[in-house]
Structure 1
């Protein structure tokens, strides 16, 4: 019997193309200014990008391929330059796995376990329903409530995809409880709201999105200027809040809903809360743990315990006997191990791009060739921003987009050898751009989750996604010239 899960011919073709391109570059004649190791790491990057864009293989499989190819290609490359003794696969293994000891990876992995623990307790449902009860059940207020819920959950669920997976069933439950047609304008835009606001919410908090953790890891290691949880919040959360407010007006003003107030809304929300009953001991425990976790993150500058270490001990408290809310067995299947694997491999690829000199060469050959390095600071930011937004459309994963973009930007900044440039701020600005996935559901898993409910169509997301992208960019440059300059980020 034929394997029903066998790759489609089109995907096989993309795999072949990826392998041919990778091998062609890896064993091509030496490129001027690039070491053999750097040339081969670039070859692995090209293969990875082709796999990510074409989705010929799953992200976890692409991660394993990245690790394997890095080990082989680095192991059989000279230690330095283009000639001399080979590094050896044994010494290449730590380089290929370096992403798994990176602070960014630690924060992502811990965050996914934290998200699994809070989902196990069901506290997120109580928070969502309580906020909706507070804002009321007028149509516009429901959207305000969902946006507010998302922003609150950003502090509790350090995963964009997990937040989307949490809010989507809550929204579908409300639609069913309100007895609203799931193809109605209200229902369609409520799911679009989740698809977009979950992306926006990740910008504001260091632990709110995986790209932030990757960026902070590269900033700390390559730029030697670690950004604390509180500092990230100070620089990023105001922009996130203004973006969220703008999105609220766009989604509610650009759509004409079937009713001004959801039929039977107050009673439905009241009944749903009544079904939950009083807070369980597990909900109380995790509330206390998260309160101390957020407090520890916010006061990092006083006790000097970094956010990654705080996250690790927070997970320990959640899983430990007596203080815990779940066992490892309870949450192990709720953790997205594919994301953990992809992030580790993506960070390893980024670090080897930097250590081999490939990132700097790539940046000089692309951004440098455009003369970006000789531009004024604000023009440089504008060109880099537009470039990232165009590149972002090609990726279906915020993780893969981050792995490709951030090390290239860091490499470019390092290649300029200009200490007067706000390198930390420019890296953070580049990270914000990765979140601009407002147009197509396929550009991010957090949008694909609500899209999979078959409630809205791509055109529904584009309808609010285009103005949101335009307004988001206007606000972005407004912040560049005002708040981010005033606060010393750039």
Structure 2
């Protein structure tokens, strides 16, 4: 182990111990304090990469099983959880449908790679937008936006884009670990997150927040209104993303010659084979079914994805055998993502996340702050809290009810309370800093095209600029159009 990684691991262990040894507040269950200690430990490991993501997942599950197992329950402090029940909590994320959706998307990406369809589609895109890195970044952002209009799942959109981007890298004859691979893959993940904010139906966490708002305030936010509120922010951030990524990563591309031109490579591929045509049919069917989810049929995105995988594995009419696809599925990615969901669930069940949020608000005196400062503080806390969640949907389930309670408990104010809640929901989708903070991030991370450090280098400026833009919009645009 490198010296800096060893120091980072020691720092994570030290922080874990410090939080565990702090006096237990009366309003925080002991098990909640221990869950928060594991959260602090996990965030340090994830941000420093002191150990690999899969190794960190095993360490986190072990800590949760032991620390929670020897903790009194929330319901009856005279009873201990026991390691068996604690382990069930620690691995609860493995039964999440989000994990299956990510797994299915990885299989779809593998199918496109095995058949070579990703390379053909990539060459067609390059023939339209050009092969310069800046043009490819623009093309990636545009595709992310268009898919967000129709596909109500960030993971499904990532599953569509990722294999195409791998094909673009392959079309240049570069390894997927090249700078071009990192540039395009990180751009795709960040763009998907940006448009999760701009479009109401782009992400499940938006629906969760709207459900809470309808229950508390008796209102719904029409699709067009949401777009009016959030799309300008997403448009500006898409431009910011372009400049951040093109300045951050500058790949050295091989010169295009007559022998390896885009047109020549397309010709060399020849006509599409039967497997490619079948994969196109399956992918198109998935895209159409995802787009019409809840409108023409009741099937959810994960069920559709698993059905698609089943069809691809059927002998004779499918794309590949399990033996062919299994080596291409990064199981470590799925383990890490499931562990992240488990940690978020534990923070909820032990009341650790709720205590952290509500008590922090009380200590900061948020209800007495001017409106823009209130937005700034709440948004910053939201962003920091997200570091411990692999699912924005889980974060929305924790954070949005607390913000609603804050607004409901305030005296009549000069601003529109539901508007403040909606703005905090926008910030829920700020999963820009760590790959584990979103399923699309973990899906892309599983391709081994970029490192966590590269992702953080792009995520920090995007987060800072996006945060400042949230504050600016709260002081100007959102007040002008009546959201606040």
Same fold by TM-score greater than 0.5: yes
**Structure 1 residue aligned with 2:267:** 274
Query: CA–CA distance in 1 between the matches of 2:213 and 2:338?
Result: 20
> 1:32 aligns to what SS in structure 2?
coil
Aligned length: 446
- C-alpha deviation, 1:274, in angstroms: 1.0
Query: CA–CA distance in 2 between the matches of 1:46 and 1:437?
Result: 14
**Structure 2 residue aligned with 1:299:** 292
Query: CA–CA distance in 1 between the matches of 2:277 and 2:324?
Result: 18
Q: How does 1:234-313 map to 2 (within 5 A)?
A: 243-244=237-238, 247=241, 264=257, 268-302=261-295, 303-313=297-307
Return closer, same or farther for 1:20/1:217 CA change in 2, 3 Å cut-off: farther
Q: For structure 1, which segment, 26-35 or 302-311, has the greater mean C-alpha deviation from structure 2 after superposition?
A: 26-35
Alpha-carbon deviations, 1:318-361, whole Å to 9, x = none? 22223421222222222222221111111111111111111011
> 1:369 aligns to what SS in structure 2?
helix
- Contact 1:297/1:307, CA 8 A, preserved across alignment: yes
> 1:325 aligns to what SS in structure 2?
coil
Query: CA–CA distance in 2 between the matches of 1:238 and 1:326?
Result: 43
- C-alpha deviation, 1:362, in angstroms: 0.8
Return closer, same or farther for 1:358/1:390 CA change in 2, 3 Å cut-off: closer
**Structure 2 residue aligned with 1:416:** 406
Alignment pair present for 1:87 and 2:81: yes
TM-score (ref. length: structure 1): 0.70
- Structure 1, unpaired ranges of 5+: 1-6, 177-186, 439-443
User: Which of the residues 201, 226, 229 maps onto 2:192?
Assistant: 201
TM-score (ref. length: structure 2): 0.71
- Contact 1:11/1:54, CA 8 A, preserved across alignment: yes
Return closer, same or farther for 1:161/1:314 CA change in 2, 3 Å cut-off: closer
**Structure 2 residue aligned with 1:49:** 43
- C-alpha deviation, 1:167, in angstroms: 2.9
User: Which of the residues 431, 435, 443 maps onto 2:432?
Assistant: 435
Query: CA–CA distance in 2 between the matches of 1:35 and 1:423?
Result: 30
**Structure 1 residue aligned with 2:67:** 73
Return closer, same or farther for 1:111/1:17 CA change in 2, 3 Å cut-off: same
Return closer, same or farther for 1:146/1:266 CA change in 2, 3 Å cut-off: farther
Query: CA–CA distance in 2 between the matches of 1:331 and 1:220?
Result: 39
User: Which of the residues 85, 95, 98 maps onto 1:101?
Assistant: 95
Query: CA–CA distance in 1 between the matches of 2:98 and 2:262?
Result: 38
Return closer, same or farther for 1:376/1:301 CA change in 2, 3 Å cut-off: farther
Return closer, same or farther for 1:301/1:167 CA change in 2, 3 Å cut-off: closer
Return closer, same or farther for 1:320/1:222 CA change in 2, 3 Å cut-off: farther
CA RMSD of aligned residues (A): 5.1
Query: CA–CA distance in 2 between the matches of 1:318 and 1:383?
Result: 48
- C-alpha deviation, 1:308, in angstroms: 1.8
Return closer, same or farther for 1:36/1:399 CA change in 2, 3 Å cut-off: closer
